[in-house]
Chain A
């Protein structure tokens, strides 16, 4: 194994990767037909990002 492997991701990159991976996994587990999977992945990803950004903005006033 490569002991020196290290990733430096921004908040946005981390959120995007997390949302994408989980959406794909949920889509494949919960739907059978390819078209249904694609719809589910896209919708799930959209909601993940919407809620993530929404919570981010909701916390913004408390960061100052």
Chain B
């Protein structure tokens, strides 16, 4: 009899934990470092925010390509998904790059890579926060 009451409670707790972990992952994606900050992992939170932020500022400052959703081919779509990984910083990158992209020189090409890397790095950090919230990683 005792098991019948204990098991549903444990399942409910797991489900709640999973939901919180998912929300922490989404928060980490939207604002770089926020997922870790919610878990009180301050060092990781600050470093995620700074590294992703600096990569976005450099990428936009070097006039890298900030891809939009209206891409012409698969590479544009992949670029958009990578850029979107920076969460709200994607909007910051777009507004920072008021003069538009210029990939006719090497700097612009590097800028494109900086922006894409910032996005992928932030997705990795958000996934790390999600796993940490589930208790799988520290």
Interface residues of A (CB under 8 A from B): 1-3, 5-9, 11, 14, 17-18, 21-22, 24-25, 28-29, 32
Contacts and interface: CB of A to CB of B under 8 A. Distances in A.
A6 B58 contact: no
Interface of B: 43-44, 47-48, 51-52, 54-55, 57-58, 60-63, 92, 95-96, 98-99, 106-107, 110, 113-114, 117, 121, 124-125, 128, 138
B96 A5 contact: yes
A18 B114 contact: yes
B51 A6 contact: no
A45 to B, nearest CB: 13
Q: Closest 4 CB pairs between A and B?
A: A3-B98, A7-B61, A28-B47, A25-B51
Residue of A2, A7, A24 with most partner-chain B CB within 10 A? A7
A24 B121 CA distance: 11
B110 A9 contact: yes
B51 to A, nearest CB: 4
A25 B86 CA distance: 14
14 contacts: A1-B92, A5-B57, A5-B60, A6-B61, A6-B62, A9-B110, A11-B106, A14-B107, A14-B110, A21-B51, A21-B54, A22-B117, A25-B51, A25-B121
